[in-house]
Amino acid sequence: MNTTAQRICAWSGIACLVAFFAGFWVIAGFIPPPSPKLTGAQLGQLFTDNAVRIRIGMIVSVFAAALLASWSAAITVLMLRMRGRVGALAYTNLAVGALFVLEFIISLIIWESMTYRARDPQILLAMNDTAWFLFVCITSTPMLQTVAVGTAIFLDTRDGLPDPVFPRWAGYLNYWVAVLFTPGTIAVFFHDGPFAWNGLFTWYLPLTVFAIWMITMSVLMLKAIGTSGARPESGSAQDDLANQVQELRAAVARLAGERKGVPL
């Protein structure tokens, strides 16, 4: 099986992290984030003084965010190899991964547009608040993605059969990541402290967990892709297909029998 495209997509997760931190942190200087307590005048001065670096940093970050789509696609392909008919969970991962990209990009474009022309300080405050809430408070999509992946892993490993796509502990990792994303949901209630958008529990902890999750899953994906490339098509996928064919044959036979019993 040719796995080159899958490998490229799996590596795109690592590339996403490197490019994002380069653009968002090194170039734009958004780590640590601007305080929610900044006045409109202070925020305007910040964006005026750093307009060029913010623009360049956001452009780099937009390209980084797009790589989440190919990375999610690689996970989806591997999930479709799993036992237990987890197709619905696989496509949930793919759909939510696409939404995750949009949530990143919209915030980045808002920050980029704040450097485009001089604006009223209150408008800048509203734009900045909106961008950070999009970036931090929408936790439902990454939570659903990690829960979908974790559940699929548990279904794939529940019978203790050999050669699961991902090890069972990766399911627990995904569930814990979902839990640790949760605090960002309530950042809208705080202007300072650990639960503000620049706080420990809503920014630094989720950001660290996100990086660990992407690196770990990327390594596991590359290992799983290597395993699939070293042998013919996955037996679990063939077994599922064979079972579906048998069910269809049984249904056709049953319908044919019922049809024979109906008088013309």
Express each pLDDT in 42-87 by its tens digit.
999 999 999 999 999 999 999 999 999 999 999 999 999 998 789 9
Residue 45 and residue 66 in one domain: yes
32 upstream amide cis, omega within 30 of 0:
yes
Residues 37 and 111 in one domain: yes
At position 197, the amino acid (one-letter code) is: W
Other beta carbons within 10 Å of 243? 11
Q: Are 185 and 249 contained in the same domain?
A: no
**Spatial CB neighbours of 233, under 8 Å, sequence gap ≥ 6:** 1
Same domain, yes or no, for 185 and 244?
no
d(CA 219, CA 211): 12
Distance of CA 260 to the CA centre of its chain: 52
The model's pTM: 0.83
In the structure, how many helices (H) and strands (E) does the chain have?
A: 9, 0
The residue range of the domain holding 252 is: 234-264
Residue ranges of E strands in 79-201 = none
Query: What mean pLDDT value characterizes the chain?
Result: 90
Q: For 145-156, how does the pLDDT look when each residue is reduced to its tens digit (9 = 90+)?
A: 999 999 999 999
